[in-house]
Structure 1
């Protein structure tokens, strides 16, 4: 099969993380490289000494906070160790999680699987800005609840997300108690509907999926008892997911017209299985996937085809990804999507072959408005151009591009443009390169070119 360099350049931006030097000269069709990533069925896991399991991290956080509390209570007369104090565990772990993701992104052959991880982690948002527990646990949530399931069944992903300690903490399910449960009657506490509402509105059916407030309340009742272990005991470390029978609302519950008997933790599994296979969930997932990869307003035929694939393949997310790259609409030569700040920075470091410095990248992402795992609301970072292509946002990108140009001032701008854009480079971009006053300025021009900013 003849290799089309323009199609390769388009695909590495649209489905992957951007071209690296030499990627556009590959000898195989890019569709085969994308397909191979999915069919391999492996999702790389970040690794490092600070990337422990969530219960281990939360137990360490709890112990460190107790030590700091005791030190504060002891007063200023107690001698302290010499030298500056080490950074709090949540900051150390957060930086390590970011560094590990950047390393995976830099090394990925195309980055299609990494993009799917990013997509699902954003769709099932937990925010690291919501306190120290989530600062230390947001990256672990992605490692434990998202990555193992992005090429598996949606129902397994949904259950892992809904019962992970980070999600239970983020959406306050740890504070939800069945009003008629022993704990509810003893303490006078009641339902917290946050997780139930977001599971229906954001994670499964969608806002127009046909559910009512009664369904939100019903799912919140099913979720009671799902909490996080506070203290280490026979049930596990602090921070482990635990189902507390004494806090679970007793009795059968009717959700979306189906009745679920009070079977303890199995009640939630059965309810989520049905929500995962609902036609409204298929439409919602298909729309979000097409919007992320193809267009802010994706073609209805594409959404319908992806939705049907989701239903026909029992929520098999690998088959859904393959259906996406098989769809002719996904290969529209017009670059309709604006790269998000994370996509922009990773594409720049890949193209320039710069080792991503986590501190520099974290600072740049903060200025661009998209730090890792820090979306301001449960619906995640937006996927539409308007959120990222504002005048202020583009000015900040220009500043970042200028700094990148300075860091890579030894790079040949023409070779860089050929490596990351190839046949996508327009005459206007090539003319601007020739007129640049310096190599650093020329590299910044490539990074700010419309054909690099879009995918």
Structure 2
């Protein structure tokens, strides 16, 4: 009788089975997952992508410089030399290739799943933000996702990707020196609102519009200088001339700190708020396990409160809780579907193009439709048109694999004896090898976790 915990160990808390992974997990599935938390997150190889914020900002400002020069030439009636530059989409394609290759090689797939979840929790998307999203994951998300939520919150909120995405670079305190002298700039509430609604308290967390305004004022001054030349050596950070002076009242507490300390203090208190404990852990549970487990959500919130937002403790509690190991509840979102296929196959062929495949399935890479990130509900990924695009992708992928790829061997590597009789029969009775692989990729076991 196969251990029913083996598949959740590699699917629910991992990226899908790599060849040989079921055997590694089989003796002690829960211990296999828990050991990944104890292991330090491995460094991310970044030779092909902007390694840090400085590299991303260089690409961003270089693109702006070249475009400005082109516009000036056009206005003067001169020929455009066609100077090449890197686009945000180019960087996203490089980052996606890195993610797919990491899925193949990693021995700590839970860590990669955590990176996917927390990067979605602190979503940034679209436009120039693409130059900075990778550095945000490497600098603000990964170092803290098994540590302090407070540290992650501060790092993510004040990272240039977030400042750019939620318009805080253009938010100016009305009574600041810069604000008093500018008719075009004023307070922008976007970052303050989303920190409260999405990143900490949640929409039901008990804040008001006055709290949104107060937090927006507290966050003024944290910005990005994209001018050429920059006004100071550091392009990102706290610019006191833009900060709204004086104390601010947020959730009934007065923050009288001066300068950058005001935002740090406010974010620290938000991280420790009971509503944050409930909202943050609820999203974590729904990412891994699904909806409809309120008792599990409550237990995770209690662990968060008891440990002052220790995400390592919360994650350990989640993977050790029996209710988290039940039958599959969730349909794999498109990105997880591609990662699972890449892990099982040892990599994906260039075609079908992974980026275009994700877009066709409704989850374009690094381009969530709103600051809320991607939906966790199954309905978003299980509609008839969504299933059709998965079928098209699986069918084309099967035609691109090397001749002789053994679907039966892949079936055993993916599910072992836990594969249902129906799935095994469908694969074995397929008209040819390509149809067998298509049926494997579309099987309920592969589509759900």
Secondary structure at the counterpart of residue 254 of structure 1: strand
Q: Cα distance, 1:111 vs. partner?
A: 0.7
Q: Cα distance, 1:291 vs. partner?
A: 0.8
Give the superposed CA RMSD.
Answer: 2.1
Residue 106 of structure 1: which of 77, 101, 104 is its match? Answer: 104
Compare 420-429 and 156-165 and name the one that shifted more.
420-429
1:283 alignment partner in structure 2: 278
Residue 338 of structure 2: which of 329, 345, 348 is its match? Answer: 345
In 2 relative to 1, CA 379–248 (structure 1 residues): closer, same or farther, beyond 3 Å?
A: same
- TM-score normalized by the length of structure 2: 0.93
User: Is the counterpart of residue 14 in structure 1 residue 9 in structure 2?
Assistant: no
1:140 alignment partner in structure 2: 135
Superposed counterparts of 1:344-383, under 5 Å: 344-355=337-348, 357=350, 360-383=353-376
Q: Cα distance, 1:5 vs. partner?
A: 4.4
1:55 alignment partner in structure 2: 54
In 2 relative to 1, CA 434–59 (structure 1 residues): closer, same or farther, beyond 3 Å?
A: closer
User: Is the counterpart of residue 165 in structure 1 residue 160 in structure 2?
Assistant: yes
Secondary structure at the counterpart of residue 364 of structure 2: coil
Residue 202 of structure 2: which of 197, 201, 206 is its match? Answer: 206
Q: Cα distance, 1:228 vs. partner?
A: 0.6
CA distance in 1, matches of 2:20, 2:217: 55
1:44 alignment partner in structure 2: 43
Q: What whole-Å deviation, never above 9, does each CA across 1:238-282 have from its counterpart, x for those lacking one?
A: xx3221211111111111111110321000101111000111100
Q: Cα distance, 1:234 vs. partner?
A: 7.5
Q: What whole-Å deviation, never above 9, does each CA across 1:195-221 have from its counterpart, x for those lacking one?
A: 000000000000111111111111011
1:181 alignment partner in structure 2: 176
2:380 alignment partner in structure 1: 387
The 8 Å contact of residues 103 and 356 in structure 1, kept in 2 or not, is answered as no
User: Is the counterpart of residue 272 in structure 1 residue 272 in structure 2?
Assistant: no
1:230 alignment partner in structure 2: 226
Secondary structure at the counterpart of residue 179 of structure 2: helix
Secondary structure at the counterpart of residue 227 of structure 1: strand
User: Is the counterpart of residue 435 in structure 1 residue 429 in structure 2?
Assistant: yes
The 8 Å contact of residues 344 and 413 in structure 2, kept in 1 or not, is answered as yes
Q: Cα distance, 1:286 vs. partner?
A: 1.3
Residue 188 of structure 2: which of 181, 186, 192 is its match? Answer: 192
The 8 Å contact of residues 290 and 376 in structure 2, kept in 1 or not, is answered as no
Q: What whole-Å deviation, never above 9, does each CA across 1:120-159 have from its counterpart, x for those lacking one?
A: 00011000x2x2x212222222222111111110000000
Q: Cα distance, 1:179 vs. partner?
A: 1.1
Compare 375-384 and 240-249 and name the one that shifted more.
240-249
Secondary structure at the counterpart of residue 148 of structure 1: coil
Compare 44-53 and 188-197 and name the one that shifted more.
44-53
- TM-score normalized by the length of structure 1: 0.92
Q: What whole-Å deviation, never above 9, does each CA across 1:294-343 have from its counterpart, x for those lacking one?
A: 1222x1211111001111111111111100001110011x2111100011
Q: What whole-Å deviation, never above 9, does each CA across 1:22-61 have from its counterpart, x for those lacking one?
A: 1112264122221121112324324114323223322333
The 8 Å contact of residues 102 and 358 in structure 1, kept in 2 or not, is answered as no
User: Is the counterpart of residue 121 in structure 1 residue 119 in structure 2?
Assistant: yes
CA distance in 2, matches of 1:87, 1:445: 42
CA distance in 1, matches of 2:103, 2:233: 34
CA distance in 1, matches of 2:163, 2:207: 22
User: Is the counterpart of residue 307 in structure 1 residue 305 in structure 2?
Assistant: no
1:444 alignment partner in structure 2: 438
CA distance in 1, matches of 2:220, 2:37: 37
CA distance in 2, matches of 1:87, 1:265: 35
The 8 Å contact of residues 294 and 336 in structure 1, kept in 2 or not, is answered as yes
CA distance in 2, matches of 1:365, 1:207: 29
The 8 Å contact of residues 200 and 216 in structure 1, kept in 2 or not, is answered as yes
2:212 alignment partner in structure 1: 216
Residue 292 of structure 1: which of 280, 287, 299 is its match? Answer: 287
Q: Could you list the runs of 5+ residues in structure 1 that have no partner in the other structure?
A: none
In 2 relative to 1, CA 273–122 (structure 1 residues): closer, same or farther, beyond 3 Å?
A: same
Residue 411 of structure 1: which of 388, 402, 405 is its match? Answer: 405
CA distance in 2, matches of 1:400, 1:25: 29
CA distance in 1, matches of 2:133, 2:318: 28
CA distance in 2, matches of 1:257, 1:68: 47
In 2 relative to 1, CA 15–180 (structure 1 residues): closer, same or farther, beyond 3 Å?
A: same
* Number of aligned residues: 443
Compare 283-292 and 364-373 and name the one that shifted more.
364-373
User: Is the counterpart of residue 35 in structure 1 residue 19 in structure 2?
Assistant: no
The 8 Å contact of residues 46 and 143 in structure 1, kept in 2 or not, is answered as no
User: Is the counterpart of residue 336 in structure 1 residue 332 in structure 2?
Assistant: no
